[in-house]
Amino acid sequence: MRKILIVGAGQSGLQLALGLQSQGYEVTLMSNRTADEIRSGRVMSTQCMFDTALQHERDLGLNFWESQAPRIEGLGVSVAAPDGGRAIDWVGKLDGYAQSVDQRVKMAGWMETFAQRGGQLVIHGAAVSDLDYFSRSYDLVLVAAGKGELVSMFGRDASRSPYDAPQRALAVAYVHGLGPRPEHPDFDAVRCNLVPGVGELFVMPTLTTGGRADILFWEGVPGGPLDAFQGVKDPAEHLSLTLELMEKFTPWEYARATRVELTDAGGTLAGRYAPTVRNPIGRLPGGGLVLGVADVVVANDPITGQGSNSASKCAAAYLAAIVEHGDRPFDEEWMQSAFDRYWNTAQHVTKWTNAMLGVPPEHVLNLLGAAGELQPVADRFANGFNDPSDFENFFFDPEKTSAYLAEVAGG
């Protein structure tokens, strides 16, 4: 059977490894951490995944936590007004529910399953020289190592990367004790709170190592008042800063957060990175070729909550491309075509996410405002998180936005 090496045991690497394994491929997975280290380590994401991405997991029988994780049935948008109230506030209903399963739970669990099913798991932080050596004994080497150092093997694609610096400072806190959203306590939703010129606060339920919890996730414009977490090492200090900023900029969220406490000592994360699209094929010093997967090749800012969704979609696209290719060599042409297949969906995510990082133009503000009056607009916007290609139809072009709003308003 064909031998495949996957470097990196995150959403894409594990999903692909387990998928290939179930098709009879001989898969080696290289991870720089053990399952226990991941489970007892720091949170890595907010990992909210929508229906299409979750379906790829279901298709492979990997939805182990679906019955325990909260079902996120809506997605709301609030825009802060200068008086401390909200200029805009609505919630759209998702056609299929979303879920967030703490990556510490999922990656540790999937890694153990991969090993139990006979997969070769190597705990080692791979360097380029390792890949050079190993590439000779595998039919295909996939680099699914996220935003780590191995990305340096893949050249930045400037034509697809409008930003060369981080556009947001990120600060995450996992908490217990958050009160329900008073407007809609009957169903779970992600709430995106936009604070014009300052940043965004995302609040969503998750399943973490200690059961159900909620995530408070600030995205701050660099250099602004939310860009305050650098150098904060103490988790308790991180949480009190998160709450202080909520009281100041999103008092309606603070009102339900007065009794929260951190889920665990690893329940906070802060950092930043520049959104970057890279060339998908890496050339090793010895001449071998490797194919980049998910964040390695397309890393978007988490403002639209798409990275894990995209990692799932990338893994599904590559799995199909590998299986369809049968016994033929995984050459440069095949690698490019596998990436192009993924880019068909990824390009929409990148375009929309990069647009959301900028100052919203007037027609987008009109659209967000109209969603408060017209429920079908709210619902369509919410479902765009599941399939961002739909934004082409009503989001980017002012004429298409007005035509769409006129159509909905006309009934």
Ligand X SMILES: Cc1cc2nc3c(=O)[nH]c(=O)nc-3n(C[C@H](O)[C@H](O)[C@H](O)COP(=O)(O)OP(=O)(O)OC[C@H]3O[C@@H](n4cnc5c(N)ncnc54)[C@H](O)[C@@H]3O)c2cc1C
Site residues (vs ligand X, CB under 6 A): 7-13, 30-33, 45-49, 125-126, 144-146, 148, 150, 170, 172, 269, 294-295, 302, 305-309, 311
In whole angstroms, the minimum distance from the beta carbon of 113 to ligand X comes to 16
d(CA 311, CA 292): 11
CB of 295 to ligand X, least distance (A): 3
Complex with ligand X: residue 81 or 127, whichever CB lies closer: 127
Tell the smallest beta-carbon distance from residue 305 to ligand X (Å): 3
In this complex, which beta carbon is closest to ligand X, that of residue 52 or of residue 366?
Answer: 52
Neighbours of 95 (CB within 10 A): 12
Which of 38, 371 has the CB closer to ligand X? Answer: 38
The residue among 7, 275, 281 whose CA lies nearest residue 154 is: 281
Q: Closest distance between ligand X and the C-beta of residue 373, in Å?
A: 28
- Report the C-alpha dihedral over residues 82, 85, 86, 89, rounded to 10 degrees: 170
Q: Given the complex with ligand X, which of 96 and 251 has the nearer CB atom? A: 96
The secondary element (H helix, E strand) that includes residue 195 is strand 188-195
Burial of 287 (C-beta count, 10 Å sphere; 0-12/13-18/19+): exposed
At residue 27's C-alpha, the angle toward residues 22 and 31, to 5°, is: 115
Cβ burial, residue 32 (10 Å; 0-12/13-18/19+):
middle
Minimum CB distance to ligand X, residue 32 (Å): 4
Could you tell me which of 67, 38, 36, 40 has the C-alpha nearest to residue 54?
A: 67
| Dist. CA 385–CA 54, nearest whole Å | 13
Distance CA 72, CA 6 (A): 31
DSSP result, 86-135: EEEEEEEEEEEEEEEB-HHHHHHHHHHHHHHTT-EEEE----HHHHHHHG
CB of 85 vs ligand X, minimal distance in Å: 27
- Compute the distance between CA of residue 120 and CA of residue 89 in angstroms, rounded to an integer: 50
Q: What angle do CA 302, 223, 217 make, to 5 degrees?
A: 35
Comparing C-alpha atoms, which of 351, 360, 354 is closest to residue 389? Answer: 351
Q: How far is the CB of 73 from ligand X (least distance, A)?
A: 16
Q: Of the two residues 39 and 363, which places its CB atom closer to ligand X in the complex?
A: 39
Query: Which lies closer to ligand X via its Cβ, residue 208 or residue 401?
Result: 208
Closest CB 310 distance from ligand X, rounded Å: 7
Distances (CA, A) of 3 to 141, 142, 363, 404: 9, 11, 51, 50
Closest CB to ligand X among residues 270, 405? 270
Q: Specify the 3-state DSSP secondary structure of 411.
A: coil
CB of 215 to ligand X, least distance (A): 8
Which residue, 2, 5, 13, 4, is CA-closest to 296?
13
8 Å CB contact between 310 and 155: no
Nearer to ligand X, 7 or 370 (CB): 7
Residue among 226 and 311 whose Cβ is closer to ligand X = 311
The conformational region for residue 395 under phi > 0 = left, psi -120 to 50 = alpha, else beta, is: alpha
**Least separation in angstroms between CB 366 and ligand X:** 26
Residue closer to ligand X (CB basis): 73 or 295 = 295
